[in-house]
Structure 1
Amino acid sequence: MKIKIICIGVLALSVTTGAALSKRADGTSALDDAATMSPFYTDASMTTLKPEADFTAAWKALKDEDRADMLADCNDDVLKAKHPDFCQMGFQLGGHQ
C-alpha cells in the first residue's frame, strides 16, 4: 500500500514539475508571445487560426525544440484553455492528442 501512495505522489510531482518546466526562464510561455504565435493566427488578438495549410507551414518552419516547448505548454490546463484551437492543431501535427 505504501508503494502505491509513493508512486502516486511521484506521478503527481512529475506532472506538476513538467508543467512548470514548460515555462521559459522568465516565467512566460511561448503561447503568450505575440511574435511567436503571430504566424499561426490571422489577427493580433490571436482568436482566429490561419487555414490548415498555412498553420502547417508555420508549424514545420519551427525548430523541433520550439515545437516541443509549445506542445509542453499546451499540456498546461490554463494555457491550453487560452489557446484551445492552436493546441488541438499542434497536437494533431505533433502526432498525438
Structure 2
Amino acid sequence: MSAYYYSGCEDHYEEHYLDCCSLCRKSLHNSDIFMYRGNTPFCSKECRQEQMEVDEAREKNWKSGRSLRKSDAKNSTPNKTVRTGTVAVA
C-alpha cells in the first residue's frame, strides 16, 4: 500500500499521509503530530479528541441500530397465530 494519496491539504495532489491533519487539514510540517488508531494524524489534541468523539457517537449509533434490528427480529415471528378475546375463570 502506498503512503501517498490525495489529502486535500494545501491543494497538492500527492501528499504523504502525515503531511496534514486528518480532521482540519492543517499542515503538519514542523509541528507535533498526534496519532489516533495507529495511523491517523492530527495537528492537536483537540482535533484528535473531536475525531474520537465522532467515532464513539458513530459506533454507539451503529450498535443501537443493530440491537434494534435484533429485537425486531425476535418480536416479529412469521406464521405465529395470535388470538385475542376474554377468558372468564370461575
TM-score when scaled to structure 2? Answer: 0.29
More strand by proportion, 1 or 2? 2
TM-score when scaled to structure 1? Answer: 0.27
More helix by proportion, 1 or 2? 1
